[in-house]
Amino acid sequence: MADRRETAEIGLIGLGTMGANLALNIAETGHKIAVWNRTRARTEAFAREADDLAAMLVTTVDLSEFVAAIARPRRIVLMVPAGKPVDDQIAALLPLVDAGDVIVDAGNSDWQDTDRRAAALAREGIEFLGLGVSGGAEGARNGPSMMAGGSDRAWAALAPVLQVVAARFEHDPCVAHLGPGGAGHYVKMVHNGIEYADMQMIAEVYGLMRDGMGQGAAAIGDGFARWNEGPLASYLIEITAEVAGSIDPDSGHPMLDLIVDRAGQKGTGRWTVIDAQMRAAPLPAVEAAVTARVLSGEAEARAEGAAIFGEAGAMELPERDLESALMAGKILAYSQGFSLLATASAEQDWSLPLPRIAEIWRAGCIIRSAMLGDMARALAEAPDARLAFAPDFAVALEAHVPGLRRVVAAATLAGLPVPALASSLGYFDTLRQARGTANLIQGLRDRFGAHGFERTDRPGARDLHGPWG
Ligand SMILES: NC(=O)C1=CN([C@@H]2O[C@H](COP(=O)(O)OP(=O)(O)OC[C@H]3O[C@@H](n4cnc5c(N)ncnc54)[C@H](OP(=O)(O)O)[C@@H]3O)[C@@H](O)[C@H]2O)C=CC1
Ligand SMILES: O=C(CO)[C@H](O)[C@H](O)COP(=O)(O)O
């Protein structure tokens, strides 16, 4: 057998959905790649199915053979589930790698784990890149959007590969070095939070069309396909049309009607909400989306509730109002996400390049949307401003909020749930209420707990109390 030591330019561990596709993508861009997977049968199946890319692969059966196959300084990409598998894999690699080698964690890791791992590996002289990868299987294979965090050296080592593997928007590769340590995984986490909100609002509109307006899956799919031709154009709207329009080959029924209404979640949406709460950053659309996924799992309670209270009634609305609701909801959800990024950037001292983040989301990722180009421009013009208040988006909100309002009102009157759309509307209406209602909250807090308040007529004076004894 030929000596394969140091013949590969890069290595990848974890040949699941994402890893296998990313490895083929890397191979196709002309980089010889060593691969290793915990379960050997998967490596063998991967090699069999690689067709004409097989010559670009160095398949290996154990970790030492894998490490030895990679040219130095080694670049090793992990594409395994977040948490313990990443720690275990790094621990297994440590005795085999050398100072100056670079380990890349390309899974959806918790950004705080990435910070911890970057610091621990730096003490061993190993460079570490936390790489958020978005685009699902298709993106990994044909060009994902990638959000990198880590040392300059780690980025410099990986950039030549990542820039050719990434999706392109026009000629611009959708990958960037966004900051140190966990910055890339943080941005990916917020991307996924926005993804949750976007999907939940789409699902709510689907629910109105199905339960309120009596439309079948095919008609609903047609509606989404039409919207994908306009300003709502985005990957999630496009694949909603596809999913709603698909027929189950076994039964001949619409596939969508046969899927159990219980949503899974791997954690990034929940992490985004927890992180936003810890920073006191409002993120209502994502909160509503995470709660909706949790409630989707409470099928028995929902059946019991339907039996006690009865199902919702019918409603009628023009298609353009539903489109407007999604437009306004999308702008508000992205705006909340970018505000969270701005808050975290300041608190972590990351200097996150918000316009560049919007740019690298224009292609390859799950939340790619026709709006992101305008968002990048708005964030470049006023980096500290709230996206929803940027001139173009303020105009769009003026145009679409009335439709959102009619949709939330009609759904509410019919008894159909629209928690993410309603929470976005509540966020919008709160932001336009110059004199809010928290004066009463403060009065009550002072009344029961002597918590103190400020007065409108005595600026600067704090910890004042009311006349309630
Ligand atoms: N699927 C998606 O759309 C996306 C996923 N991601 C993230 O990418 C990562 C991989 O996801 P995905 O490819 O979908 O997952 P899969 O479940 O398809 O594959 C997981 C891979 O990790 C390996 N693995 C699992 N546990 C361990 C372990 N303890 N030690 C070593 N290897 C292990 C598996 O090996 P084995 O064959 O032995 O089981 C398999 O190769 C995750 O962090 C995920 O969140 C990111 C973006 C999109
Ligand atoms: O990162 C992704 C897409 O961007 C993954 O598909 C992720 O698994 C989606 O999150 P969840 O499984 O919680 O819906």
**Does residue 25 contact residue 77 with C-beta atoms inside 8 Å?**
no
Q: Where in the chain is the domain with CATH 1.10.1040.10?
A: 189-431
Residue with tokens 């219980």, as numbered in its chain: 262
DSSP secondary structure string for all residues of 92-158: HHTTT--TT-EEEE-S---HHHHHHHHHHHHHTT-EEEEEEEESHHHHHHH--EEEEEE-HHHHHHH
**Does any ligand 2 atom lie closer than 6 A to the CB of residue 145?**
no
Q: Is 81 in the pocket of ligand 2 (CB under 6 A)?
A: no
Domain 10-181, CATH homologous superfamily name and number? NAD(P)-binding Rossmann-like Domain (3.40.50.720)
Please tell me the number of Cα atoms within 13 Å of 431 on its side-chain side.
18
Distance 40 CA to ligand 1 centre (A): 15
Q: State whether the beta carbon of 108 lies less than 6 angstroms from ligand 2.
A: yes
How far apart CA 176 and CA 436 sit, in angstroms, is 40
d(CA 228, CA 236): 9
Binding residues for NADP(+): 14-19, 37-39, 80-82, 108
* CB 272 near ligand 2, within 6 Å: no
Q: Report in angstroms the alpha-carbon separations of 214 from 207, 312, 317, 326.
A: 10, 12, 12, 19
The pLDDT value given to residue 384: 79
Asked whether the whole model's pTM tops 0.90, one would answer yes
Q: What is the DSSP string of 215-277?
A: --HHHHHHHHHHHTTTTT-BHHHHHHHHHHH-B-TTT-SBHHHHS-S-----SHHHHHHHHHH
Rounded average pLDDT per 10-residue block, the chain, 469 residues: 84 98 98 98 96 96 97 98 98 98 98 98 98 98 98 98 98 98 98 98 98 98 98 98 98 98 97 98 98 98 96 94 98 97 97 97 98 97 90 97 98 97 98 97 98 98 94
Catalytic residues: 188, 195
Ligand nearest, relative to CA of residue 193: 2
Among 40, 79, 90, 103, say which to mutate for ligand 1: greatest number of ligand atoms within 8 Å of CB. 79
What is the C-alpha separation between 321 and 43, in angstroms, rounded? 50
3-state secondary structure of 12: strand
Position 383 scores a pLDDT of: 80
Beta carbon of 151 within 6 Å of any ligand 2 atom: no
- CA 389 from centroid of its chain's CA atoms: 23
What is the rounded CA–CA span in Å between residue 432 and residue 459?
Answer: 23
Give the H or E element holding residue 176. strand 175-179
pLDDT at 469: 74
Binding-site entries: 14-19, 37-39, 80-82, 108, 134-136, 191-192, 196, 266, 293, 445, 451
16 lines ligand 2 (CB under 6 A): no
Which residue's CA is minimally distant from atom 9 of ligand 1? Answer: 107
What is the phi/psi pair of residue 163, to 5°?
Answer: -70, -25
Q: Which atom of ligand 2 is nearest to the CA of 132?
A: 1
- Which ligand has an atom closest to residue 236 CA? 2
Ligand 1 geometric centre to CA of 131 (Å)? 14
Number of H helices, E strands in the chain: 20, 10
Ligand nearest to the CA of 12: 1
**pLDDT at position 2, please?**
66
User: Annotated binding site for substrate, which residues?
Assistant: 108, 134-136, 191-192, 196, 266, 293, 445, 451
- What CATH number belongs to 189-431? 1.10.1040.10
**Any atom of ligand 2 within 6 Å of the Cβ of 366:** yes
Cβ-Cβ contacts under 8 Å for 299 (sequence gap 6 or more): 261, 262
C-alpha 253 – ligand 1 centre gap (Å): 32
CB 300 within 8 A of CB 252: no
CA of 14 to the centre of ligand 1 (A): 6
Tokens 């790619």 belong to which residue?
A: 368
Q: Between the CA of residue 434 and those of 249, 404, 429, 437, 438, what are the distances in Å?
A: 55, 21, 10, 10, 11
Residue list, ligand 1 pocket, CB within 6 Å: 14-19, 37-39, 42, 79-82, 85, 88-89, 107-108, 133-134, 136, 266
Q: How far is the CA of 192 from the centre of ligand 2 (A)?
A: 7
Kindly identify the ligand whose nearest atom is closest to the C-alpha of 191.
2
Residues of the chain with CATH 3.40.50.720: 10-181
Helix (H, G, I), strand (E, B) or coil at 168: strand
